[in-house]
Structure formats: C-alpha cells, structure tokens
Amino acid sequence: MGVRLGLARCRGIADKVGSHQGIAPTKAWLAPTTMPRMAIQNPTRKPLPIEVRGSASQPLGMSATQFLRDYWQKRPLLIRNAFPDFQAPIEPDDLAGLACEEGALARLIIHDEKRDRWTVKNGPFEEAEFGKTPKRDWTLLVQDVDKWDADVAALLDHFTFLPSWRLDDIMISYAEDGGGVGAHVDQYDVFLLQGIGERHWAISDDPDAPLDFRNDVELKQLQVFEPTHEWLLGPGDMLYLPPGVPHDGVAIGNCMTISIGMRAPSQAELTGDLADFLAERMPEELRYADPDLVPAKRAGEIDTAALNRLRQALPFAAALDRDLLADWFGRFITRYRNAQVAAAPPKATTEAAFDKALDGGATLVRHPYARIAWVKGKKEATLFVSGNAYECPAALAERLAAERELAFDRRPSAVEKQVLLTLVNDGQLGVRKGRRR
Ligand code: SIN
Ligand code: CO
C-alpha cells in the first residue's frame, strides 16, 4: 500500500465483502450480440475489431498512435487483459472510508428492482450508512479518488499518451450484486477498468440510439436502451467508451470499477469563460460606437447598420449569423441598465376580457420601465421587451416602440392580439379602460 492521505477504513463494507455469492456468467455475455456498426469510416477500410487483447507492454492492445487514430473519440473498444494480473489499488473499505471524509464527492445509489425505483444519497456519509445497505442492488461511487490516494493516482501513468490536462478524475465504484447506475450516456471519454470481481457491461454503438432521459429518476437514465454488445469483465479488463455511447454496467457479485474520465469542456463553458476573460481585459472606453448614425427610419428597429457596428465592436462574434447576433443583442440591449422590471399582474387577463376591453375603446399603456427594440426577420419581426423576445408583426413592433399609449380604431388581428395579450400578462402593457360601450 502506498501513501494514504488520511483515509479512514470503513468496516461496513468489509463485513459484507464475500457475504453474497456471485452469479455465474452466461455464455451470451462473453461475445458481442451483433456485429459492430461503424459510425466512422477507417482509412484502411478493414473492419476494426471492437474487442482486442492487451498485454503488459500494450494496455490498449495496440499502440497509442493506432488507438488514437482508430478509436479515441470515435468508437468503443473492449481490451481484455489490459492490465495483466491486475490488483485493485484501493480496497472497498478504503473507498467507503473516503466516502465518509468531509469534502469527498460520493453517492450511494440503491435500486429497488421490483418497483424500478432508484434512491440517490449524496455523501459525505456516516459510517453507519454502510451497515444499512440492502443485500444487493446498490453501489457507492466516489469521485476524484486519484486526489486522495497515491496508488490510485499511479494508474494515470498508463495514460500519459493523452494530454494530462484532458484528465478529469478517477471515479471508483463499489457495488454489490445487481448494483449499478442504470443505462446512461456520459459526455466524456471514459476508460472503465475492472478492479475487483465481475461486471456485466452492455453498450449500444448504434449512432441513432434514442437519448431521451427518464423523467422519474434523479439520475439521467435513458428511457430506452437496446444493447448492441454485452460483455462480462473481470479484473484487468478495460472498456473504452467515447462520449455519447449508451452503456449500463451491472455488478455480478461484489465488484469494483475504476473509471478514468477525460471530461472535455463544453462549448458553452468555453464561450462563457472566454467572454469573462476578455471582458475583464477590455478598457471601459472601448464601446459600441455609431458616429455614422443617420436619423432613425423606424422607431426601435435594430437595423443592418447597427448589426454591422456590433460586428465591428465584437470581432470574435464575426462568425455568428445575423439572426443569432440580433437575437442576443435585442435581449441584451432591452435589459441594459434597466433598474426595474415590470411585474406580471397578479391575475392574468383572459382573451374574452381583452376583446371586451378593446371593443370598449381601451388603450394599452406601456410600462415606464419596458425597454423595447425589434429586428426584421425573414417573415415578420422579433420584438424585444426588457430582455424577452416575441414573434411579432413588424408594423406592430414599430408602433410598440414608437408609442407610449396605443389606441385602436379597429380590432387588432388575431396574431397582433396574441402578442398584445402576452405583453399585458407579462406586465409590459397596462390596459386603460375606454369610454366606448
Ligand atoms: C459505475 O462504475 O458504476 C458507473 C461508471 C459509468 O457508467 O460511467
Ligand atoms: Co457512465
């Protein structure tokens, strides 16, 4: 055993290890149920195997170059014997001890198979929690184990063919017979190394597999999962999965699985951080500027000249198409420096009451804090009011921007009425009663 960073051993699991019989694997699990469907062509056009055998010198069963070229981020790969004679670097009790540490990220997931109900408990846990676990169908997952345990961290030495900054963490699960987290997809590459005991893995490499989540479970489990491949993994076997491959791992007896996760930032995270980073470095005096301004033709319109000026002020947004840029800017500028926002009225106006009011000569008064802009679209326009966007006929959008109080000498069209009623019910327009009967 190497250096342990203050890990308390937890007896709860040791008492249980070995207390349940593992289920004998069936033959069907030992071979893929169907031929793999290749989502991406390989340059040699020879079908690539989905299962290979590793060795002490080649844990990937091939060179790192070949793995990166043919499998990394492209297709799953099962490597039998990736780590010959593998000994798990951590024991179940140490894992449970870690799950009780302040600051550890741990979850306990229990499946009531009869009712198909899942319970998720978040750590850190009291040691007594492990005494209360059922006989089967539960799993403990602990993230960032590499940060707490030097033996676990040493596993990373086998993954130096990947940039070290691509690594997220090593998550380790301990499960008793039947335990697992259900069928799901991960948004990151993962190497699932079997540590102790056996786990049945089912995956789907069907590129059209449905990815809808069950809405009755806290875990993001798939509503439908139809495996294309199933295997039984023993210690030292490793399954590589690229992002987005549906998978389901079920413990066969007591089982430990070590997940080396390579989470990549989402474009949303990259964009948000880049925007903050750039914003912090931009001087106040660099601003949207319009020294070329000519008198406005239509009140409130964000016209092409304004959008072009925006592109000048935001060179990194040059790739955004007109509609996306306008959609963002319209929402932004109608929120910009607005100290107050209109509150929705306590009681919504019905369409019938609205018709009656309009027939009675009611006018619509713009809330003083409603900031309005609009942009011409392909058909009609998008109206922006205090950060919200509404599809709206262009003529009405222009009127709303131009007039603080709108009077109608004819009943608005059905489409116009819908927009107006929505604005009334959002609190952006108030109804001022008319005198007409
Ligand atoms: C597990 O170890 O139970 C889950 C790992 C995974 O599916 O990502
Ligand atoms: Co997963």
Answer yes or no: is the C-beta of 186 below 6 A from any ligand 1 atom. Answer: yes
- What pTM did the predictor assign? 0.82
How far apart CA 292 and CA 45 sit, in angstroms, is: 58
Instruction: Say if strands 247-262 and 189-203 run parallel, antiparallel, or are unpaired.
Output: antiparallel
How far apart CA 369 and CA 193 sit, in angstroms, is: 59
172 Cα nearest atom in ligand 1: 2
How far apart CA 161 and CA 420 sit, in angstroms, is: 60
Q: Kindly state the DSSP code that residue 411 receives in the 8-state scheme.
A: P
CA 257 distance to own-chain centroid: 23
Cβ-based neighbour number of residue 308 at 10 Å: 12
Residue 38 pLDDT: 40
190 Cα nearest atom in ligand 1: 8
Answer yes or no: is the C-beta of 173 below 6 A from any ligand 1 atom. Answer: yes
Q: Could you tell me where in the chain the CATH 2.60.120.650 domains are found?
A: 7-262
Contact 323, 376 (CB under 8 A): no
CATH number belonging to domain 7-262: 2.60.120.650
- Going from the Cα of 98 to the center of ligand 1, the distance in angstroms, rounded, reads 18
Residue nearest to atom 1 of ligand 1 (CA): 173
Could you say which ligand is closest to the alpha carbon of residue 185?
2
Instruction: Say if strands 77-80 and 51-53 run parallel, antiparallel, or are unpaired.
Output: parallel
Contact 299, 398 (CB under 8 A): yes
173 Cα nearest atom in ligand 1: 2
Residue 217 pLDDT: 80
Residue 13 pLDDT: 56
> Which SS3 state, helix, strand or coil, does residue 82 take?
coil
| Low pLDDT (below 70) residues in the chain | 1-45, 436-437
Residue 416 pLDDT: 98
What is the third-level CATH fold of 265-437?
Malonyl-Coenzyme A Acyl Carrier Protein; domain 2 (3.40.366)
Q: Which residue has the tokens 């609009």?
A: 374
Paired with 364 in beta bridges are 406, 431
